Each structure stands twice: as structure tokens, then as C-alpha cells.
């Protein structure tokens, strides 16, 4: 639970900026929170893949993993000894959404923002995960600010230079922020994250548990360069949405008033069948930037996987591209970015 000395009053001015994910991190936070109730027969495989992601990132930067007390032994067996484990009650694995977003204040201090996780609009139990942001801030040794917005870290994509990408479907949604206008949301987000410009994409409501988080559909490579997910399958419910996103981004301007350079990355046309289901999140943009590395998924589509590697290597020539099989995590509707959160 948050202690009084951790909390900063809502009335206090926040002169904060959220850096681009590619900037240096103190560590990566993850949550070893898969359960039988949610994951069923995939539980063991999900736990193995969570550990595989943690172990891969730990090759490049420190990793801290939240773990239920009764699963400490299992987590220690699966994780590399360098992965730091912390006891914590958990509901699930999605640290990007339940964990805090770290920002830097004008004086250089780091602040953890709690965006009041509510299970993506009360779609899933979140009794424990709604406390994860505060607990993580305490473990990280940084002050916590509770926002008066409800959203998730996966709903935010920034370029580190004053521009953000967000979807209306996940933030301007009655299941998170009932009755809130776009103008009010923008004002609060700009203050909290140090933004000058928010480019809104429509997204789509109710088709996935996140209501179309931005981190699956559009990511900044650097200021002025945006990597965009394109769904080639015209029968997919997101096909038209990805085309609409592309149309908006091609006419958008960033905080500098500059047009965006758009790079397209197609979803795989085929994936391995073992864990494929209606929730399977098959896309390459949900990668994670660790120190000197980019950790990305691969889905068994040789051509698409290789194309993704090539595109990502061209965009990030200074980073090692590491592709991992995360099929179980994808079957739960998420990816590598969804299970990680960087501490600056």
C-alpha cells in the first residue's frame, strides 16, 4: 500500500517528461503472475515464456520480477540468477498496464505515475494488480503520484520530444474515464507526461481486452518516424482500422510541426497452431527496447519473421535484434511490451 510520504498531492504542479523507451533504463520490471484461473492449460507454458523474456532482457540490463510468495521457488527455478525477485500479490502478468509509468521531473528526479488500473474497464479481476503501481514505486525507491485518469501504460506511446500517440478507444472510454472530454484528457496527459501534442487514433472498442492499445498499432522509432502495424488480412476486424490509422498518421504533424515518416510492418499471415485462438495477438510492434537490444516476437512465419527482423534492424542499427517465441503470451492477447515496464 502507498504510504503518505510517497503520495504527492493532485494539486502539486507536475513538470514531468516521459522519455522515449529507447533511452537508458535503470531496470525492467515484470510480473510472474499467471494463474490457472485465467490461463488454464497454458499456465506452465506462459510461466516458461515469461521467464524466457526476463532472462533475455537480463542479458542487457537489470530485471526485477514481482512474484507471488508461494511461487518464489518456481520463479527462481525458471529465471536466471541475475533476475531479482520480489514477493507481491498479483492477478496477472501485464506489467505494462498494472505497473507505474516512470517520468522525469524538471529537477531530474524520477516520479512513478499510477494510472489507477481497473482491469481494462472492469473486464478482469484486479484486486491485487490495482496495487502493483504503488508497490513497484516503493520497491524502486521513487515517489508515487496518483493520476486522476484511468488508463494503462500500453495506451501511451511517446517520442520523448513532446509528441504522443494514443487511441481514443482505450482512453476516451466510458469504462475508464466516464464523461471525460478529449480536451480534459489531453490537458491532464500533457501535464503528467510533458507533452505538447497528442495524435489520436480511433482504435476499436470491445474487440480485445485493452480496447486497442496503441503499443500494438503504432510506435515511435524516434521523433518524426513512426512504425505502423498493417493487417493484410481483409477479413480481420482490425484491417480497416489499421488503414484508417495509416491515413491519419500520414496527414498528422508532431510537436515540431513536422510531418511523420511512416514505416509499415505487416502482421504475419501464418502463425504456429499450437496456441492459436481468437485472442492471439500476431504483430511485431509489441517489442521492447532494452539497453543495446530490441526484444521482438517471432510467430513461425518464416517470411514475415525475417522481414520484421530486417525492418527492425534497419530502424535500430545499433541494437541487437532478438526474436523470441511468445505464442502463449500472444494467445492471451498481448506481447513482450505488454509484460514489461522500464524504470528510467
For 121, the grid coordinates are 474497464
Q: How confident is the model at residue 96 (pLDDT cuts 50, 70, 90)?
A: very high
* Per-residue pLDDT at 252: 97
* Per-residue pLDDT at 7: 34
For 96, the grid coordinates are 505494462
* Per-residue pLDDT at 14: 35
- Looking at the DSSP bridge assignments, the partners of residue 266 are 230
Cα angle value 218/14/172 (rounded, 5°): 40
| Cα–Cα distance list, 125 to 91, 98, 100, 249 (Å) | 7, 12, 18, 35
CA neighbor of 84 nearest in space, from 102, 67, 71, 101: 67
| pLDDT at residue 94 tops 60 | yes
Per-residue pLDDT averaged across 77-97, rounded?
98
Burial code of 249-276, b = ≥16 C-beta within 10 A, e = fewer? beebebbeeeebeeeebbbbeebeeebe
Query: Which residues have CB under 8 Å from 317's CB, separation 6+?
Result: none
> Distance (Å, rounded) from C-alpha 70 to C-alpha 11?
40
Per-residue pLDDT averaged across 239-258, rounded?
94
| pLDDT at residue 218 tops 50 | yes
Examine the residue annotation and report whether 101 is marked as an active-site residue of this protein: no
DSSP letters, 160-177, are SSSEEEEEHHHHS-TTTS
Q: The whole model's pTM is what?
A: 0.92
Determine whether domain 16-343 maps to CATH 3.40.190.10.
Answer: no
Please state, as a whole number, how many other Cβ atoms lie within 10 Å of the Cβ of residue 86.
Answer: 16
Give me the chain's average pLDDT, please: 92
| pLDDT tens profile 97-147 | 999 999 999 888 999 999 999 999 999 999 999 999 999 999 999 999 999
| pLDDT tens profile 151-206 | 999 999 999 999 999 999 999 999 999 999 999 999 999 999 999 999 999 999 88
CA neighbor of 165 nearest in space, from 21, 321, 311, 330: 21
For 142, the grid coordinates are 521513487
* Per-residue pLDDT at 241: 87
> Distance (Å, rounded) from C-alpha 268 to C-alpha 283?
7
Out of 88, 101, 328, 338, pick the active-site residue.
338
> Distance (Å, rounded) from C-alpha 38 to C-alpha 32?
13
CA neighbor of 32 nearest in space, from 68, 1, 62, 59: 68
Cβ atoms of 250 and 278 closer than 8 Å: no
| pLDDT at residue 15 tops 50 | no
259: DSSP letter: B
Burial code of 147-156, b = ≥16 C-beta within 10 A, e = fewer? bebbbbbbbb
Q: Where are the domains of the chain?
A: 16-343
Amino acid at each position: 500500500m502507498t504510504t503518505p510520504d510517497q503520495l504527492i498531492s493532485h494539486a502539486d504542479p507536475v513538470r514531468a517528461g516521459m522519455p522515449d523507451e529507447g533511452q537508458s533504463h535503470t531496470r525492467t520490471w515484470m510480473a510472474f503472475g499467471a494463474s490457472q484461473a485465467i490461463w488454464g492449460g497454458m499456465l506452465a507454458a506462459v510461466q516458461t515464456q515469461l521467464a524466457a523474456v526476463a532472462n533475455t532482457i537480463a542479458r542487457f540490463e537489470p530485471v526485477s520480477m514481482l512474484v507471488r510468495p508461494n511461487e518464489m521457488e518456481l520463479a527462481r527455478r525458471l529465471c536466471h540468477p541475475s533476475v531479482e525477485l520480489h514477493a507481491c500479490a498479483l492477478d496477472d502478468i501485464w506489467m505494462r498496464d498494472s505497473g507505474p509509468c516512470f517520468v522525469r521531473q524538471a529537477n531530474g528526479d524520477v516520479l512513478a505515475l499510477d494510472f489507477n488500473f481497473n482491469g481494462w474497464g472492469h473486464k478482469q479481476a484486479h484486486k491485487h494488480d490495482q496495487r502493483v503501481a504503488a508497490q513497484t514505486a516503493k520497491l524502486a525507491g521513487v515517489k508515487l503520484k496518483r493520476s486522476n485518469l484511468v488508463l494503462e501504460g500500453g495506451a501511451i506511446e511517446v517520442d520523448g520530444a513532446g509528441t504522443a500517440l494514443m487511441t481514443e478507444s482505450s482512453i476516451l472510454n466510458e469504462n475508464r474515464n466516464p464523461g471525460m472530454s478529449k480536451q480534459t484528457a489531453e490537458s491532464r496527459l500533457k501535464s503528467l507526461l510533458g507533452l505538447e501534442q497528442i495524435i489520436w487514433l480511433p482504435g476499436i472498442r470491445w474487440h480485445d481486452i485493452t480496447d486497442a492499445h496503441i503499443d500494438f498499432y503504432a510506435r515511435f522509432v524516434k521523433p518524426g518516424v513512426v512504425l505502423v502495424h498493417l493487417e493484410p488480412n481483409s477479413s480481420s476486424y482490425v484491417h480497416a482500422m489499421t488503414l484508417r490509422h495509416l491515413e491519419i498518421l500520414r496527414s498528422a504533424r508532431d510537436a515540431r510541426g513536422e510531418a511523420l515518416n511512416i514505416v509499415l510492418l505487416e502482421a504475419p499471415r501464418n502463425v504456429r497452431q499450437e496456441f492459436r485462438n481468437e485472442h492471439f495477438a500476431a504483430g511485431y510492434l509489441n517489442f521492447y527496447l532494452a539497453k543495446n537490444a530490441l526484444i521482438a516476437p517471432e510467430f513461425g512465419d518464416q517470411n514475415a519473421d525475417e522481414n520484421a527482423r530486417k525492418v527492425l534492424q534497419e530502424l535500430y542499427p545499433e541494437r541487437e535484434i532478438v526474436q523470441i517465441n511468445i505464442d502463449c503470451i500472444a494467445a492471451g492477447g498481448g506481447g513482450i511490451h505488454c509484460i514489461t515496464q522500464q524504470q528510467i
